[in-house]
Amino acid sequence: MANRILKNDYWEKRIRDKMGVDDAYLPDDLLNSPDIITLAEANIISQISDYATLDGDLRVYLEYAVILECCILLCPSMGARLPKKETGPHGSYELGSDWSKRKAEFEEDRNRFIGKILEEIAPNSIPTFNSFIVTYPKRGW
């Protein structure tokens, strides 16, 4: 199935750059699989029904939202894809990234850009309100 949003070249590299890995860990075949790009585009299209009419800055936001959605879909498997430790002649280093934290960051960015698109398409359609949460005190000791 052809891509519906990310149609131009090098979109795979954009995902790898955002994730901070090279093509040895995220090959093009994986990114082109229906489990990644097709699902990511379908997820974004389900939130923005008239995606095909977007142009200019809104198109840039739409493409970026799909890139972020791909990153979100890839995060759970990244712990298994990347090495845990790097050893060299002068030392050994623990490598690690908290992929659940990165996933939350990607989700926050994706939601922000989808919000920008929806606010531009239909102003005042997104309810905004001030809120706060009451919590209990925590002591770390």
pLDDT in 10s for each residue of the chain, 141 residues: 789 999 989 999 999 999 999 999 999 999 999 999 999 999 999 999 889 999 999 999 999 999 999 999 999 999 888 876 566 676 655 556 789 999 999 999 999 999 999 989 887 665 555 555 666 666 666
What's the gap between Cα 67 and its chain centre? 5
Residue environment code for 7-22, b if the CB has 16+ CB neighbours within 10 A, otherwise e: eeeebbebbbebbebe
* Residue 93 dihedral angles phi and psi, to the nearest 5°: -125, 135
* Residue 105 dihedral angles phi and psi, to the nearest 5°: -65, -45
State residue 14's pLDDT score.
Answer: 96
State residue 129's pLDDT score.
Answer: 53
DSSP class of residue 29 equals H
Answer whether 107's CB lies under 8 Å from 76's CB. Answer: no
State residue 123's pLDDT score.
Answer: 78
* Residue 92 dihedral angles phi and psi, to the nearest 5°: -125, 135
pTM higher than 0.85: no
Answer whether 3's CB lies under 8 Å from 33's CB. Answer: no
